[in-house]
Structure 1
Amino acid sequence: MSEFSHINQRGEASMVDVSNKAATVREARAEGYVRMSADTLQKILAGEHHKGDVFSVARIAGIQAAKQTSQLIPLCHPLMLSKVAVDFEAQPEHNRVRITSLAKLTGQTGVEMEALTAVSVAALTLFDMCKAVDPAMVLEGIRVLEKQGGKTGHWQADSTG
């Protein structure tokens, strides 16, 4: 059986001690999608959604969420993030919005969870703001695209998803 880093010798949940790890620049990128009706997407893009600029609100929500990751996910370290970005790409040919995030810091542990949390909460916010007109929306494909820094160096997801 492999050794799990979040389990102590007694089999109990334990926060990993990163105090002896070198502080390096660490970066992670994540993505996710919100599939919706063509009409809902068109209203968002035309600025005609009755709740206003849903992308701006979802962007702020994603950034705020990344900063709160250690409050949401057990055993995550509180991190001093130096950069969080959340972006949206409308994909009308697929009736969806692609959400991407970037989380970055100089520290002793990675930022994948912060990047994933940013995408997840931005997607949830889009859903919340549009659910009255499109309750059948689907959140899908949330994943880490890339991470850099630390002992493991650079990792990138394959392009097939």
Structure 2
Amino acid sequence: MLLTSCAAGISDGSPSAAPTLPPTSNSGHPPSSSISPTSSSPRPQVTCVSFLTSAPCSEYVSVAGSASGVDLPWVEPGSLTVQLSSVNDSLQLAVKTPCNPISGRVSINGSTLTAERLATGAMGCIGEQSEQEKWVLDFLARQVEMTFSQNTLNWKSGPDMLSFKIK
């Protein structure tokens, strides 16, 4: 006595008809199944949020940066962008670096921005771009004091500074 494949039953060894499979559509799913991209979870509610009450709600681009008082030439205009949004009532920071994007949950208390959970893209840069991304992550790991003056958003984190203009 032999068992047939998939343990469908006991066989005496004689050939049997192949099982009948339901027809499939081009998607590989049976036509009777209903898989719809609109049946997933609701779209998140995303709104722009100002970093400070005195600053317009916008995407900002870097114009200057320094580490312990030394200018960072790689923070050329536009090499970093930052934007703050509310996603389902949670503050989310989005940063574009020369390497990967960085994003995550933040909180603001007065003029102090604190990153709570940040994630980076998975591109895997090497050399200078990797070091620049690490510098930005280290910058954001500390509390960031923010000011807005003369259409410039200024961030200070420990001994380091970044300045941004409205995009």
- The answer to whether TM tops 0.5 is no
Q: TM-score, normalised by structure 1?
A: 0.23
Q: TM-score, normalised by structure 2?
A: 0.23
Larger radius of gyration: 2
Determine which structure has greater relative contact order: mean sequence separation of CA pairs < 8 Å that are 6+ residues apart, divided by chain length.
1
Q: Which has the higher helix share?
A: 1
